[in-house]
Structure 1
Amino acid sequence: MGSDTTRAGPLRWTGFAGAVLLTGGAWAVLATAPPAPAPAPAPVLAAGVTGTGLLVLAWAMVGRRVLRGAAPPVAWSVRTLALWATPLLFAPPLFSRDVYSYLAQGEIAHRGLDPHLVGPRAALGTASGPGALVDGHWVDAPSPYGPLFTASARIVAALAGGGPVAGVALHRLAAVAGLVLLVAAVPRLCALSGASPAVAMWLGPGNPLVLLHLVGGVHNDALMLGLGFAGTALALEALDASRERIGRARLGAGVLLVSLGALVKLPVLAALAVIGTALARRRGATSIRRRGGAARQFVVAGIGMAVAFAAVASAVSVLTGAGLGWTRSVGTPGTLWSWMAPTNWSGFAAGALAGADVTGPLIAAGRIAGAVFTVAGIAFVLYRQLRGRIDAVPACGAVLGLIVLFGPVLHPWYLLWAVLPLAASPLTTRARTGIAAVCGVFAVLLPPLAGDHGDRPWTLVVAYATAVLVAGAVLPALLHRDRMAERAGHTGRPAV
């Protein structure tokens, strides 16, 4: 183990250098770019893109060792994750402007209005202050988030006093808290599923999508996932077959945490379906083969999960003063025609061929089909889980994967909803390689700040070409040192 971590040392520092370069490049873009829609200067944008590339390259090279069976210890992975994340704590918001919407929604709530009913333009104006920073797509949109997040955003607004720097820092602190919960939850999920914690830490919390979008991008998905998967681990531990009895207190605490995660952002609520199915299977263990026994337990457990979530949601809505307005605005993200979402592709393709008039109707049809596939797929996964043909942890990944794949909107960080539980599942090497490849592509798909400054295509071409050249120069050196260290390990000589 010690030699493995020594050999992986240059990879650790390559990733750190990438995070530093990304952070510096992002600040340089903001400092040197003319007002939008003028393009950011190509050299400074190239620095940010190159930093992203180096970070992803270092992660992929660590994964090369992990998938060959030379995974470093979990403690090394946690320290490396902390090292790579540190520069990103001081970066401007990366890859999206969603955190500015959080600031505006918190300010609206702080002023005594309901951000689930009124958008930033109407409540705050866009000439100055928090409303001026909100992305144009969301300036009139009500908040799609739950009452727990609204309450936390209101607290941030009160503490930051309307200052965007302090506000971003506080929201990033909440994202880091979610990441800490994830780091604690993943090994426990691995213990339940039989997966390798070292592999799961690399593919899960160490994933560049986590670093770039949850830490760098300051997305509230970090808090949603941290609470949700910490609760999932607690609940599934309470239902583990090795326990003589169901741990009711632990189960209740797990359901509470998942519910709180869903009151940040709703998708992680799907984990309650998996927990309910695990409960039905555990309670019906003696009658699971009887006619209708499993179905009855499944229905009872499902009703119990629904009642528990409704109770938590009602209590949080009352205690935070948010009311139930949030239930009417959870579909706000669906108003965006996301080009990454497969359900929208048929509409975009038809619109390009036949005109814009057909785009909207076909996107609507694609989303209806996606909803049908999602419901049918989740029912199939839960049926297999109930029958013992798939364990709870991979079932959670599969259910959330269906929601991501067939949902109306897809952003790179949405992949983490499914990737994190799948990382803690006993998958084949081929499956892990495929997941890692998709994550790597999505990690470099968007430039750090290009979308904020209307960059022309040639600027992006220069930036990505620079990143490819730098990665091409660094990769042979890393591979050479890896081979030398591997030979040293075989011959018993110390790794250099």
Structure 2
Amino acid sequence: MRMTYFQRFTNPVVLGGLAGLLLMLGSFGGGAIRYRGGVLDALGLDFIAFGHAQGVSNTVLFIGQLLLIGAWVHLGRRLFKNEDSPSNNLGLVRRTLYAMVVPLIFAAPMMSRDVYSYLMQGAMLRDGFDPYTEGAAVNPGPMLLEVSHDWRNTTTPYGPLHLWIGDMITSVVGDNVTAGVIAYKVLSIIGLAAIAWSVVRIAQHFGANPAIALWIGVANPVMIIHMIGGMHNESLMVGLVSIGLLLVLKKRFASGVALIAVAVALKATAAIALPFVVWIGMHHFAGFLATKKAQNSPTLSQQILGFLVSGSAGVAITGIVVSIITWMSGASWGWISEISGNSKVINPLAFPSLVASVITMVSEVFIDDFNYNAVVNVMRTISMVIMLGGLAVCWWLFRQNERRAIAGTAAAYAVAFVFNSVTLPWYYASLISLLGTFKPPMWLIRGSAGASVFIALMFTGSGNHQLYNIVTVIVSALIAWLATVVIFDDTTTSSKQVTKQA
């Protein structure tokens, strides 16, 4: 039967493509655009970024956000209503993902100005400065003008590979900021493609539903907006970790650990996956020893030997890879002391900031000059202890088999990001990418879907968050709740769907 125009328009592929197009068009006036120069200036269209025209751009960008969420919600509803076969559903998710991403290839940076800091940090290494001890202001030039004022005098928390990539890009493009942004756009797309490729295969390895894994883990609006729109280095980092995990699951331990180590050299967050990889390696090696001796299952001594071998090999490979990259990049080891990140960022996504804000809000009723900074510093110390304890607990509780190890990796990322001193939406890419790969319970998928919609609405095109705008938070929470109702309108049917397609 021929599709009606309404059915065509409400197809998630069409909606996703339209959303990407609107985001792209709105980004040039409402995104994190250049302070000086850029494409608009070269074309004589810089008026788009000011006054009423900027208001129109912001509106177009916001409508694009809503349509992107709508396309994702509609796609999820189709998956959980079991309207098609698993293979056709996977194809539909892929086509929707392509439709969302392709227009954003041509978009200006949005939701964050971090890409300009990436370029500046690369230029600093290129020009002989140490980004681990000096701020961007020591190297004046066109790139410095685009760095957010908050970050011009701060050091970088990223690894030597991050600086090396920036060094290579700025050595090629010089001080051409636009060309540098395009280079990072290409890297972000490569990263997302790597995530998409590996997530599907990890889900298939565990017999999970690859369509749902791709839907929740890659086509997710948080991933699209912040990995491609914001061009964060998480895209490449998570891509490397995802492929590394897949290689380890396929019993290519050394290659998998080496790739994750490369990701660690990009951003230290990747290291959270390594202890869980040791469990996978232990099970593989112990299983090999048991098979060799014609045993049905490994003995405790074989498991201990497997743990020692995989742990030692993992530490050695990681150390060698990171050391080689640090040496080849010409960067220093100063990144180790910068891992904790910059403490300037305050938002309720981080547990210590949230608790400190609530305590301050109540206390200010009674004390006019209540010291928020003192409270947040104490809470960050407490939170760090909780985080370290939580990571250890996750590592021990999720040791039983491969599937549990991958689930434990996701749980550890959740603990790290919730209790970290500083947390931003794109940090959660490491967690989001794994959510659908290990046959997760329905409550986790439902909760993650709602949280994704909420977070996707929390940032404006210029990069400012709305987490302290009470009206926006309430409206966004209602939209997130409504989205989960639409996607999972029949919990029983949804549960059967996951089980059936898994």
Provide the TM-score with structure 2 as the length reference.
0.81
Aligned pair in 2 of structure 1 residues 179, 154: CA closer, same or farther (>3 Å)? same
Q: After superposition, where does 1:237-386 map in structure 2 within 5 Å?
A: 237-238=250-251, 250-285=252-287, 286=290, 294=303, 297-298=306-307, 301-352=310-361, 353-354=363-364, 357-386=370-399
Cα pair 1:338 1:408 within 8 Å, conserved: no
Structure 1 residue 266: Cα displacement: 1.0
Q: What's the Cα RMSD here?
A: 3.1
Q: Which residue of 2 aligns with 1:218?
A: 231
Distance 2:11 2:274 in 1: 41
Distance 2:28 2:8 in 1: 32
Aligned pair in 2 of structure 1 residues 32, 350: CA closer, same or farther (>3 Å)? farther
Distance 2:27 2:169 in 1: 24
CA deviation vs aligned residue, 1:442-492 (integer Å, no higher than 9, x gap): 11111212639x9xx89x98xx99xx9xxx9xx9xxx9xxxxxxxxxxxxx
User: Bigger shift: 22-31 or 266-275?
Assistant: 22-31
Distance 2:458 2:369 in 1: 26
Q: Which residue of 1 aligns with 2:136?
A: 120
Q: Which residue of 1 aligns with 2:416?
A: 403
SS of residue paired to 1:332: coil
Q: Which residue of 2 aligns with 1:490?
A: none
- Look up the equivalent residue of 1:224 and give its one-letter code: M
- Look up the equivalent residue of 2:186 and give its one-letter code: L
Unaligned runs of 5+ in 2: 34-45, 487-502
SS of residue paired to 2:320: helix
Does 1 or 2 have the higher relative contact order (CA < 8 Å, sep 6+)?
A: 1
Q: Which residue of 1 aligns with 2:161?
A: 148
Match status 1:101 vs 2:114: no
Aligned pair in 2 of structure 1 residues 187, 256: CA closer, same or farther (>3 Å)? same
Q: Which residue of 2 aligns with 1:391?
A: 404
Structure 1 residue 57: Cα displacement: 0.7
Q: Which residue of 2 aligns with 1:16?
A: 17
Unaligned runs of 5+ in 1: 239-249, 480-496
Aligned pair in 2 of structure 1 residues 39, 146: CA closer, same or farther (>3 Å)? farther
SS of residue paired to 2:11: helix
User: Bigger shift: 24-33 or 291-300?
Assistant: 291-300
Cα pair 2:203 2:210 within 8 Å, conserved: yes
CA deviation vs aligned residue, 1:21-68 (integer Å, no higher than 9, x gap): 122122133644777xx8984333111111111011111110011122
% same residue: 23
SS of residue paired to 1:73: helix
Distance 1:87 1:111 in 2: 35
Q: Which of 63, 72, 79 matches 1:50?
A: 63
Structure 1 residue 223: Cα displacement: 0.4
- Look up the equivalent residue of 1:18 and give its one-letter code: A
- Look up the equivalent residue of 1:13 and give its one-letter code: V
User: Bigger shift: 209-218 or 283-292?
Assistant: 283-292
Cα pair 2:380 2:421 within 8 Å, conserved: yes
- Look up the equivalent residue of 2:118 and give its one-letter code: Y
Structure 1 residue 295: Cα displacement: 5.6
Match status 1:90 vs 2:103: no
SS of residue paired to 1:423: coil
Aligned pair in 2 of structure 1 residues 87, 389: CA closer, same or farther (>3 Å)? closer
SS of residue paired to 2:435: helix
Structure 1 residue 345: Cα displacement: 1.4
- Look up the equivalent residue of 1:84 and give its one-letter code: M
Distance 2:299 2:378 in 1: 41
Provide the TM-score with structure 1 as the length reference.
0.82
Distance 1:441 1:292 in 2: 48
- Look up the equivalent residue of 2:322 and give its one-letter code: A
Cα pair 2:249 2:402 within 8 Å, conserved: no
Distance 1:115 1:142 in 2: 6
Q: Which residue of 2 aligns with 1:27?
A: 28
Aligned pair in 2 of structure 1 residues 190, 165: CA closer, same or farther (>3 Å)? same
- Look up the equivalent residue of 1:28 and give its one-letter code: G
Structure 1 residue 381: Cα displacement: 2.4
Distance 2:174 2:285 in 1: 51
Aligned pair in 2 of structure 1 residues 375, 107: CA closer, same or farther (>3 Å)? same
- Look up the equivalent residue of 1:202 and give its one-letter code: W
- Look up the equivalent residue of 1:258 and give its one-letter code: I
Distance 1:429 1:34 in 2: 43
User: Bigger shift: 273-282 or 348-357?
Assistant: 348-357
Aligned pair in 2 of structure 1 residues 374, 267: CA closer, same or farther (>3 Å)? same
Distance 1:394 1:234 in 2: 17
User: Bigger shift: 203-212 or 223-232?
Assistant: 203-212
CA deviation vs aligned residue, 1:77-136 (integer Å, no higher than 9, x gap): 223212211111111111111001001001111112222221111x223xx511111112
Aligned pair in 2 of structure 1 residues 379, 295: CA closer, same or farther (>3 Å)? farther
Q: How many residues align?
A: 445
Aligned pair in 2 of structure 1 residues 386, 310: CA closer, same or farther (>3 Å)? same
Structure 1 residue 298: Cα displacement: 3.7
Q: Which residue of 1 aligns with 2:93?
A: 77
